[in-house]
Amino acid sequence: MLLFSIEFTQSAEKQFGKLESGVQERIISAVERLRIRPGEHLVKLVGGNAYKFRVGDYRAVCIIDYTKECIYVVKVGHRKNVYD
């Protein structure tokens, strides 16, 4: 079975660090599910190569690199302002 690695960009780590600890735990456990079959959990965003991942009222915006078998988390935040 192919497992993708997960990497947070520097800006995503900063955004993630500002969230409450309970929300951080939920996001981490949800992102771990992406490692096995990312295509089942991600929804492609219009007008780009990024995907969104829903965790309650929070979203993680990701980019998948199939050649490196890596998922890059580029943004993390509340759904009302993560797409700004």
Which tokens is 65 given? 């690199």
Q: What is the 3-state secondary structure (H, E, C) of 47-79?
A: CCCCEEEEECCEEEEEEEECCCCEEEEEEEEEC
Four-CA torsion 37, 10, 61, 5, nearest 10 degrees = 0
Q: How confident is the model over 16-41, as a mean pLDDT?
A: 90
The answer to whether the pTM exceeds 0.75 is: yes
Identify the bridge partners of residue 19 per DSSP, sorted by sequence position: none
* The pLDDT of residue 82: 86
Q: Is the pLDDT of residue 2 over 80?
A: no
* The pLDDT of residue 1: 62
Q: Do residues 58 and 29 make contact, with C-beta atoms less than 8 angstroms apart? A: no
Q: Is the pLDDT of residue 7 over 80?
A: yes
Which amino acid appears at position 75 of this protein?
K
Q: How confident is the model over 16-39, as a mean pLDDT?
A: 91
* The pLDDT of residue 60: 93
